[in-house]
């Protein structure tokens, strides 16, 4: 039996040395160390040996098994290394070749303008308040001094889901919601960006869906002069340090007094051109002092607190800033249009 074990060891080591791949090596492993292999048969036949021979044969069998196992592991490591070297040689990369450029995306012009406006107001101490696009009639209209049947609602005809649920027509509902959360205690200083919806006919200057950014400040002793100073700073940061603004009387149900805000033309420096239609001024947003009814409905004492609000359309600002003549370009995903802003 000793001679048989030595012979098995010799045969196994020889076949291991001849193995050219991992499959052939595994076949050797199974043939010699498997459950039906010859070494296992030797161990099973030890019962027929004299008792004094069994320990010697058992130790020799384990020695042979260990030697074969070590040889298999060494050969496997060698074959795996050879395989890696073959793959590296076959898949070699010439690192001196220039890399293939990866086409990167770019912020949409509207996203760029919205983020620029957000950064500007955050720098002035405002926080960003966002809310649902599907809104209740109460927050979209009634809490903003637009009761049911009010004729001013006609200017904001919307998409109704039920009689009390609609797609919001402005981001003003977030002003009412935020004031309610403050429970009548100031200060409140927020901007509200987001998408809004109105049942409008799409053309070069109108869209049934567009974006809006509104601002709200409520505190003690807030004045019209605070509003004008804020918007002048906004205009100069966005359109250039030489800009000025002017107020024109207007009407909004949720502010009193209300104004339209114009900025001095950044194309002609107020001399008159096609952009400003010869007036030297460009209308950019609406604003006013928060109506006392809006403050009271939100839980604020209108005799103690005052505030101002403003609202603008990023599409209009982007069209003015980048010279875009059709609002529909923003929503058509035309790469010819979007690629113009890669380096803006």
Q: Are residues 213 and 328 in the same domain?
A: yes
Q: Are residues 226 and 164 in the same domain?
A: yes
Q: Are residues 262 and 155 in the same domain?
A: yes
Give domain status of residue 55, yes or no. yes
In b/e form, how buried is each residue of 61-78, taking b as 16+ CB within 10 angstroms? beebbeebeebbeebbee
Contacts of 257-263 spanning 24+ positions with Cβ under 8 A: 257/224, 257/288, 257/289, 258/286, 258/287, 258/288, 259/286, 259/287, 259/288, 260/285, 260/286, 261/231, 261/285, 261/286, 261/287, 261/310, 263/235, 263/239
Which residues are known binding-site members for Mg(2+)? 256
Q: Is it the case that residue 80 has pLDDT exceeding 60?
A: yes
Give domain status of residue 101, yes or no. no
What tokens were used for 222?
A: 């807030």
Total number of domains in the chain = 2
* Dist CA 72 CA 60 (whole Å): 18
Q: Are residues 268 and 333 in the same domain?
A: yes
Which 3 state secondary structure label does DSSP give 127? strand
Q: Are residues 119 and 86 in the same domain?
A: no
Which residues are known binding-site members? 256
Q: Are residues 165 and 29 in the same domain?
A: no
Give domain status of residue 103, yes or no. no
Percent with pLDDT over 70 in the chain: 97
Q: Are residues 82 and 113 in the same domain?
A: no
Structural domain boundaries, residue 10: 2-90
Per-residue pLDDT of 279-306, as tens digits, reads 899 899 999 999 999 999 999 999 999 9
Q: Are residues 71 and 177 in the same domain?
A: no
Give domain status of residue 132, yes or no. yes
Q: Are residues 67 and 144 in the same domain?
A: no
Q: Is it the case that residue 344 has pLDDT exceeding 60?
A: no
**The length of the chain, given as a count of residues:** 344
Minimal CA–CA distance to 307: which of 173, 187, 183, 193? 187
Give domain status of residue 95, yes or no. no
The predicted pLDDT at position 127 comes to: 96
Range with lowest mean pLDDT among 29-43, 116-130, 133-147, 184-198: 29-43
Indicate which CATH number applies to the domain containing 114: 3.30.930.10
Q: Are residues 67 and 190 in the same domain?
A: no
Q: Which of 90, 122, 139 is the last residue of a domain?
A: 90
- pTM value surpassing 0.85: no
41, with CB counted inside 10 A (0-12, 13-18, 19+), is exposed
Q: Are residues 70 and 157 in the same domain?
A: no
Per-residue pLDDT of 148-204, as tens digits, reads 888 877 777 788 999 899 999 999 999 999 999 999 998 999 999 999 998 888 888
Q: Are residues 28 and 135 in the same domain?
A: no
């Amino acid at each position: 039996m000793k001679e048989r074990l030595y012979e098995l060891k010799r045969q196994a080591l020889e076949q291991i040395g001849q193995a050219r791949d991992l499959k052939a090596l595994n076949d050797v492993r199974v043939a010699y160390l498997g459950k039906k292999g010859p070494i296992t048969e030797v161990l099973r036949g030890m019962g027929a040996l004299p008792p004094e021979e069994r320990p010697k044969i058992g130790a020799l069998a384990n020695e042979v098994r260990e030697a074969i196992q070590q040889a298999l592991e060494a050969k496997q490591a060698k074959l795996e290394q050879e395989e890696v070297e073959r793959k590296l040689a076959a898949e070699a990369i010439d690192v001196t070749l220039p890399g293939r450029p990866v086409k990167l995306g770019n912020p949409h012009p509207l996203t760029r303008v919205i983020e620029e406006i957000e950064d500007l107001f955050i720098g002035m101490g405002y926080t960003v308040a966002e809310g649902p696009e599907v809104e209740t009639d109460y927050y979209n209209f009634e809490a903003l001094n637009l009761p049911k049947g009010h004729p001013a609602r006609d200017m904001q005809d919307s998409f109704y889901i039920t009689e009390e649920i609609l797609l919001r027509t402005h981001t003003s509902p977030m002003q009412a919601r935020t004031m309610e959360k403050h429970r009548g205690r100031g200060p409140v200083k927020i901007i509200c960006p987001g998408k809004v919806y109105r049942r409008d006919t799409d053309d070069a200057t109108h869209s049934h869906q567009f974006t809006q950014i509104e601002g709200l400040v409520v505190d003690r002793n807030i004045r019209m002069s605070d509003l004008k100073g804020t918007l002048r700073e906004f205009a100069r940061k966005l359109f250039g340090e030489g800009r000025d603004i002017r107020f024109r009387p207007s009407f909004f149900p949720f502010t009193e007094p209300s104004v339209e805000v114009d900025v001095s033309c950044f194309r002609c420096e107020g001399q008159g051109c096609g952009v400003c239609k010869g007036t030297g001024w460009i209308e950019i947003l609406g604003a006013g002092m928060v109506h006392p009814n809006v403050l009271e409905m939100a839980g604020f004492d209108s005799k103690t607190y005052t505030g101002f609000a403003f609202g603008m359309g990023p599409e209009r600002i982007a069209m003015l800033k980048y010279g875009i003549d059709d609002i529909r370009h923003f929503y058509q995903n035309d790469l010819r249009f979007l690629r113009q802003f890669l380096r803006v």
